[in-house]
Structure 1
Amino acid sequence: MNCRLCGSDRLLSVLDLGATPPCEAFLTADALDAPEVTYPLHLRLCEDCLLLQIPALIAPEDTFTEYAYFSSYSDSWVEHARTFVSDARRRLGLDEQSLVVEVASNDGYLLQHVVEAGIPCLGIEPSVNVGSAARDRGIPTRTAFLNEDLAADVKREHGAADLVVANNVYAHIPDLLGFTRSLRALLADDGWLSIEVHHALNLVGLGQFDTIYHEHFQYYTLYSAIAALRTGGLAVVDVELIPTHGGSMRVWARPAEAAGQPSDRVEEVLRAEERSGLHQVDGYLALRPRAEAVRQGLLRFLLGCRDNELRVVGYGAPGKGNTLLNYCGIRTDLIEYTVDRNPYKHGRFTPGTRIPIRDPEQIDKDRPDVVVVLPWNLETELTAQLAHIAQWGGRLAYPLPELHVVGGAELLPDEGVS
C-alpha cells in the first residue's frame, strides 16, 4: 500500500479494527446461512504527508450502485442542509442565473432547498435507487460517479458551476487526485467549493473509531485537506467547525488563481490541530487506547444490563454502528434487535453481527429497559424523538464520545456509566 495522496510507502499502523463486512451490506433472512465476506479494516497514517487512510479494498461501484442510506430520514440533517443553502445564497449571491452542482447528492436532501429557491442545480449521485428517489422529488439528478470525463460533460451541458457542494463524499473516493481534479473541472474560474468532512481532530482526540469503515478511504485534518485540494489547483480560503457527525469541518476552497488570502479561521484550526499533536506522527497514536477504552466500557455496561435482566435493544442501523458492533463483538445476547426509520433496512440484519433490524414502532410495543443509540452523533434529535420511552421507565444509552445514559439510574447498573 502506498499513500494515495503523496505516494509514500511509509505508512504507520494507527488502529487495526480486525476484519469486518462492508458496513452497508445488510443481510436478508435468506443470506443468514451463507458465507459473509469480510475485509481488513486497518487505519494507517502516512508519515510524510500525514493523511489517515485505509487500503482501498472495496471499489465504490460495489458499494454505491445500490445504497441503503437515504439522507432525508434524519430531520436534523435536512435542516442542516436547509440552513447551509440559505447561508450560501447570501454569502455567494446565488440567484436564478447561478448554477449549483452537488456531488453525491443522495436523495435530494440538500438540493430540494436549492430548487425551492429557484436556483438552477444538478445532482450527481452514483446510487441508482437513491438518485431515482431524488428525481421523483423533482430534483435534476445524473446517475454517475464523478470523474474528469463526467465533469467535462456536465460543464459542456450545463456550464461552469458557481458552487460545487461535496458533503461527506471527499472521504469516500480512492482516486483522491483524480476526484480532486474533477471537482476543479466542474467549477467556474471564480467559483466556490464547499466540502463537509468529519474532522480527524475529533476522530483521534475523542476516540471516534466508529467513523472508520470501508467506504471511508481517508480521514482529514485541515492540514491534510489543504494538501489534497492543492493537487487539483484548489486553495482553501475558509473553514467552519460544525457539529455534524460528531464534529466536522466545512472547508471552503476556490481555484487557486481566484482564492486570495485565507480567513483567520484557517490559521486558528491549523493551530488547534498542531496543539493536539496532529501535525506530527506521535499525536495519532492516542487513538488506539481511546478506542479500546470505549469498547471495554460498553461491554461492561451491556454485560451489567444482562446480569440485571434488563431488556436492551438498539436504535438506528448506521454504517458507524456496524463498525462499533463488530469491533466490540456485540451480538443478540447483548442487543436483542435494533430499529431504523429507513424501510429499506426492515427485515434485514446487521452485517457481521446479524442483529435484526425492525420498524421503530417495535420499541413502543416491547417497552425495553435500555435503548442503545448507535447514531450517537444525533443525540439531541434522537433524545427528543425517543423521550416518550420515559413513560415506562426506559433509558437511552449513548456509547460515544463516552458512555452515558439519559434518564435516571434506578434500573441501570452503575459500572461504567457517567
Structure 2
Amino acid sequence: MLCRLCDSERLTSVLDLGATPPCEKFLAAAELDLPESTYPLHLRLCTDCLLLQIPALITPEETFTEYAYFSSYSDSWVRHAETFVAQAIERLALDADSFVVEVASNDGYLLRHAVAAGIPCLGVEPSVNVGDAARAAGVPTETAFLDEESAARIRAVHRPANLVVANNVYAHVPDLRGFTRSLRALMADDGWLSLEVHHALNLLRLGQFDTIYHEHFQYYTVHSAQRALATANLAVVDVELLETHGGSIRLWARPAELGAVPGERVREVLRLEQDAGLHEAEGYAELRPRTEAVRQDLLRFLLDQRAAGKRVVGYGAPGKGNTLLNYCGIRTDLLEYTVDRNPYKHGRFTPGTRIPIHPPERIEQDRPDVVLVLPWNLEAEITEQLRHIASWGGQLVYPLPVLHSADLTSHNDVNIARHTEMTGRGAR
C-alpha cells in the first residue's frame, strides 16, 4: 500500500477493526443464506504527509451507483444545509447571476435552498436513485461520478462555478489527487470551494472509530487537508469548526494564484491539532485503547441487560452503526432489531450482523426497555424524537463518545459507564 496523497511507503498501523462488509450493503431477506463479502478495515497513517487512510478495497461505483443514504431524512442536517446556503449567499454575494455546483449533492437537501433563493445551481450526484429524488424535488442534478473528464464537460456545458460545495465527499474518493483537480476544474478562476469533512481531531480525541468504514478512504486534519488541496493549487483561507457528524471542519479554499493565505482561524485550528499531537505520528497511538474501551463498555452493558431479561432494540441504521455492530460482534441476541426513518431500508438487514430493520413505529408497538441509538452524532435531534419512551419507562442509550443514557425528563445526560467516569475519556 502506498500513500494516496504522497506515494510514500511509510505507512504505520493506527487501528485494525478486522474484516467487515461494506457498511451500506444492506441485505434483502433473500440474501440471508448467501455468502457475504468482507474486507479488511485497517486504518493507517502516512508518516511522511500524515494522511490517515485505509486501503481502497472497494470502488465508489460499487457503493454509490445505488445508495441507501438520503440526507433529507435528518431534519437537523437539512437545517444545517439551509443555514450554510444563507451564509454563503451573504459571504460571497451570490445572486441570480451566480452559479453554484454541489458535488455529491445527494437528494437535493442543500441545493433546494439555493433554488428557493433564485440562485442557478447544479447537483452532481453519482447515485441514480438518490439523484432521481433530487430532480423530483426540483433540483437540477446530473448523474455522474466527478472526475477530470466530467468536470471539464460540466464546466463547458454550463459555466465555471462561483462556488463549488463538496460536503462529506472528500473522504469518499480513492483517487484523491485526481478528484482534487476535478474540483478545481469546476471553479471559476476567482471562485470558492467550500468543503466539509469529519475532523480527525475528534476521531482521535473522542475514539469515534465507527466513522471508519470502507467508503471513507481517508480522514483529515486541517494540516493534511491543506496538503491534499495544494496538489490542485488550492489554498485553504478559512476554516470553521462544526458540530455535525461528531465534529467536522468546513474548509474554504481559493485558487492559490489569487495570493490567498490562511486566515487566523486556520492558524488556530492548526495549533489545536498540534497541541493534540496530530502533527506527529506518535499522537495517533491513543485511538486503539479508546476504541477497545468503547467496545468493552457497550458489550458489558448489553450483556447485563440480557441477563436482566430486558428487551433492547436499536434506533437508526447508519453506515457508522454497521462498523460499531460488526467490530463489537453485536447480533440479534443483544439487539433484537433496529428502526430507521428511511423506507429504503425497511425489511432489509444490517450487513454482517443481519439485524432486521423496521419502520420507527415498531418502537411504539413493542415498548422496549432500552433503545440504543446508532447515529449518536444526532443526539439532540433523536432525543427529542424519542423523549416519549419515558412514558413506559424506556431508556435511551448512546454508545459514543462514552456510553451514556439520555435523561428524558430534562436535557442532561447520565453516564452509565462507571469506569469511564473515573478515567475521564469523555472529557478529552
TM-score (norm 2): 0.96
Give the partner amino acid of 1:6. C
1:212 aligns with 2:238: no
Counterpart for residue 286 of structure 2: 286
| SS at structure 1 position matched to 2:286 | helix
The alpha carbon displacement at 1:308 in A equals 1.2
Residue pair 1:102, 1:164 contacting (<8 A) in 2 also: yes
| Partner Cα distance (2:151, 2:37) in 1 | 34
Q: Which amino acid aligns with 1:222?
A: V
Task: Kindly provide the amino acid, as one letter, of the partner of residue 268 in structure 1.
Answer: E
The answer (yes or no) to whether the contact 2:125–2:142 under 8 Å persists in 1 is yes
Aligned partners of 2:88 and 2:419: how far apart in 1?
43
Structural mapping, 1:199-238, within 5 Å: 199-238=199-238
Aligned-pair CA distance for 1:257:
1.2
Structure 1 residues 291, 259: closer, same or farther in 2, change over 3 A?
Answer: farther
1:232-259: CA deviation from partner (whole Å, max 9, x where unpaired): 1100000000000000000000011125
Provide Cα deviations, 1:193-249, integer angstroms capped at 9, x if missing partner. 000000000000100000000000000000000000000110000000000000000
One-letter amino acid of the structure 1 residue matched with residue 100 of structure 2: V
Q: Which amino acid in the other structure matches residue 158 of structure 2? A: H
Aligned residues of 1:15 and 1:287 also touching (Cα < 8 A):
yes
Which amino acid is 2:40 matched to? Answer: P
Return closer, same or farther for 1:161/1:259 CA change in 2, 3 Å cut-off. farther
- 1:123 corresponds in structure 2 to 123
Match of 1:276 in 2: 276
What is the distance in 1 between the residues matched to 2:46 and 2:212? 16
Deviation at 1:388?
A: 0.6
Amino acid at match of 2:204: V
Deviation at 1:160? Answer: 0.5
Please name the residue that 1:296 is paired with: 296
Where does 1:240-259 land on structure 2 (aligned, <5 Å)?
A: 240-259=240-259
Report the Cα distance in structure 2 between the residues aligned to 1:257 and 1:95, rounded to whole angstroms. 25
CA 1:364–1:184 in structure 2 vs 1: closer, same or farther (change >3 Å)? same
User: Deviation of residue 307 (structure 1)?
Assistant: 1.2
What letter is aligned with 2:157?
A: E
After TM superposition, give the deviation of residue 260 of structure 1 in Å.
2.4
In the aligned structure 2, how far is the partner of 1:114 from the partner of 1:153?
22
Counterpart contact for 1:318–1:375, Cα < 8 Å: yes
Pairs within 5 Å for 1:372-387 = 372-387=372-387
Deviation digits for residues 264-294 of structure 1, max 9, x if unmatched?
A: 0000000000000000000001100000000
1:261 CA displacement: 2.7
Q: 2:260, 2:416 → 1: CA distance?
A: 56
Aligned to 1:334: 334
Task: Give the counterpart letter for 2:153 in structure 1.
Answer: D
Query: What is the deviation of 1:416?
Result: 6.0
Aligned partners of 1:24 and 1:351 also within 8 Å: yes
Residue-by-residue CA offset, 1:77-136 (whole Å, 9 max, x unaligned): 000000000000000000000000000000000000000000000000000000011001
Q: Name the amino acid aligned to 2:48.
A: D
Give me the whole-angstrom Cα distance separating, in 2, the residues matched to 1:407 and 1:330: 25
Amino acid at match of 1:195: L
Runs of 4+ in structure 1 deviating by more than 2 angstroms, as ranges, are 412-418
Asked whether the 8 Å contact 1:304–1:415 carries over to 2, the reply is no
What does 1:2-401 align with in structure 2 at a 5 Å threshold?
Answer: 2-401=2-401
CA distance in 2, matches of 1:36, 1:183: 35
Report how many residues are paired.
416
Using the size of structure 1 for normalisation, the TM-score is 0.98
Residue 309 of structure 1 and its aligned partner are, at CA, apart by 1.1
Indicate the SS of the match to 1:3.
coil
Question: Where does the alignment leave 5 or more consecutive residues of structure 2 unmatched?
Answer: 410-414, 422-428
Amino acid at match of 1:372: L
* Cα distance change, pair 259–101 in 1 and its aligned pair in 2 (3 A): farther
Alignment correspondent of 2:426: none
Asked whether the 8 Å contact 1:237–1:259 carries over to 2, the reply is no
Instruction: Give the whole-Å Cα distance in 1 for the aligned partners of 2:108 and 2:261.
Output: 33
